[in-house]
Structure 1
Amino acid sequence: MAGRRRWSTEEILDAAAELLRTSDADSFSVRKLAAALGTDSSSLYRHFRSKTELLRAVADRILLAAMDDYSPEGDWKQRITSLALHVREAFGQQPQLASVWGRHASSGTGSRLVMEEVLQALSASGLPDEDIPARYHRIAVLLAALITSEARVSTVTPEEYEQGMELFRVAVLGADPERFPALSRFAREVRPLGVDRRAAFEEILAAQLAHIEDAVHPD
């Protein structure tokens, strides 16, 4: 009887990414992946020592895809902004994988390429070397939080979105003005989280970069 097919590491990652598109990191398991490939879990553990290691490798491929389409141009702020938007766009195409990245991070080539570019850009900003690691960490935390949060919103179904919008309208427009005077005052201008997220993303990132620039060139 012929033996079971031997799957390559890339084929396993392809199948894992496809499985994650229709589920999430919580329900994902090596057993389910093995079943989808028609093999047993032990064969997959020859490639990855744990579920977490496998998930990190899947997320890292998103970062690699982002870096393949990225070319550093402009000053240090433009470089970081462009990189951030590339990473955002890459995870926007596969939002289920953003939560994997936010939870498990990555230590692969894609992650190292992103780290290298941010650190190089910060070095070009004029910051002293001793300040760069802390500034890098703040940018990394900010991007992971924003991209992961945005991905959660983008994965809701149209029915869930409409239900959420109706609840938002009831909660905001129907707020008791005596108990919530400020909310009642701005109710018609306050927008739900799913609206105009790219502009919010860019403004929040720009504020962080402006804070760095102020540290380099204090008044």
Structure 2
Amino acid sequence: MTGRRRWSTDEILDTAAELLRTSDAESFSVRKLAAALGTDSSSLYRHFRNKTELLRAVADRILLAAMDGYRPQGDWKQRIAALALRLREAFGEQIELAVVWGRYGSGGTGSRLVMEELLQALRASGLPDDEVPVRYHRIVILLASLITSEAGINTVAPKEYEQGMEQFRVAVLGADPERFPALAHFARDIRPLGADRPAAFEDILAAHLAQIEAQLP
């Protein structure tokens, strides 16, 4: 009698990533992954202790891919901006994994490479050592928030998006000027959350880095 095939860790993560392309982290389960691989859940627990550990490992592969071929160039702000755009692009192709990263984080090699580059760039800025971890933490929160927020917008189906846009137009353009005077005044210039995300991402990050620069000794 032929035994069941033994799947490698990379093969398990490949299949998990593929499942997460079409489902979210909430509905994803080790049982579904095992079914996709044609095995039982117990065989997967030899590689990962639980679902969260598995999701972290999948997200870490995105970080590894983002760091592949990366070489620091420019000053500290340019380095951080370049890294941020690489992360945004990498997770933009794996929308559900952006949510996983924002929720669970990662402790793998990819995560450590990102941490190392951010810390080195901040140290190169001239910040005192006791300020570097604080600034690092705020930048990571900012990036995770922006990337996962954009991922959330991208998961909306076209029909749902158009319905949301129609509600936005009604709410903004139809605002009662007596009750909402400022909204009525700026109505034609207010843009929905999903509009012009790339430029907004870069502007928000640049403003945050400028704030750090202004506080340098």
User: Is 1:184 the equivalent of 2:184?
Assistant: yes
Which residue identity is paired with 1:91?
Answer: F
Equivalent residue for 1:35? Answer: 35
For 1:156 and 1:69, the matched residues in 2 are separated by 32
For 2:169 and 2:115, the matched residues in 1 are separated by 41
Which residue identity is paired with 1:176?
Answer: D
User: Which stretch of the first structure deviates more once superposed, 107-116 or 156-165?
Assistant: 156-165
Equivalent residue for 1:96? Answer: 96
Deviations 1:9-58 (A, max 9, x none): 00000000000100000000000000000000000000000100000000
Equivalent residue for 1:163? Answer: 163
Contact 1:69 1:86 in 2 (8 A): no
Equivalent residue for 2:149? Answer: 149
TM-score with structure 2 setting the length: 0.99
User: How far is 1:71 from its partner?
Assistant: 1.9
Deviations 1:142-191 (A, max 9, x none): 00011000000011111111111111111111111111111110010000
Contact 1:30 1:41 in 2 (8 A): yes
Equivalent residue for 1:111? Answer: 111
Contact 1:21 1:94 in 2 (8 A): yes
Equivalent residue for 1:6? Answer: 6
**Secondary structure of the structure 1 residue equivalent to 2:195:** coil
Contact 1:23 1:96 in 2 (8 A): yes
For 1:59 and 1:120, the matched residues in 2 are separated by 23
User: Is 1:83 the equivalent of 2:77?
Assistant: no
**Secondary structure of the structure 2 residue equivalent to 1:53:** helix
**Secondary structure of the structure 1 residue equivalent to 2:26:** coil
TM-score with structure 1 setting the length: 0.98
User: How far is 1:70 from its partner?
Assistant: 2.3
**Secondary structure of the structure 1 residue equivalent to 2:131:** helix
Which residue identity is paired with 1:171?
Answer: A
For 2:126 and 2:71, the matched residues in 1 are separated by 21
Equivalent residue for 1:216? Answer: 216
What 5-or-longer segments of structure 1 have no aligned partner? none
For 2:4 and 2:91, the matched residues in 1 are separated by 33
Which residue identity is paired with 2:151?
Answer: A
For 2:28 and 2:69, the matched residues in 1 are separated by 29
Question: Share of identical aligned residues, percent?
Answer: 78
User: How far is 1:106 from its partner?
Assistant: 0.2
Equivalent residue for 1:60? Answer: 60
User: How far is 1:68 from its partner?
Assistant: 0.6
For 1:34 and 1:170, the matched residues in 2 are separated by 46
User: How far is 1:81 from its partner?
Assistant: 0.1
CA RMSD of aligned residues (A): 0.7
User: Is 1:23 the equivalent of 2:15?
Assistant: no
For 2:169 and 2:58, the matched residues in 1 are separated by 38
User: How far is 1:69 from its partner?
Assistant: 4.0
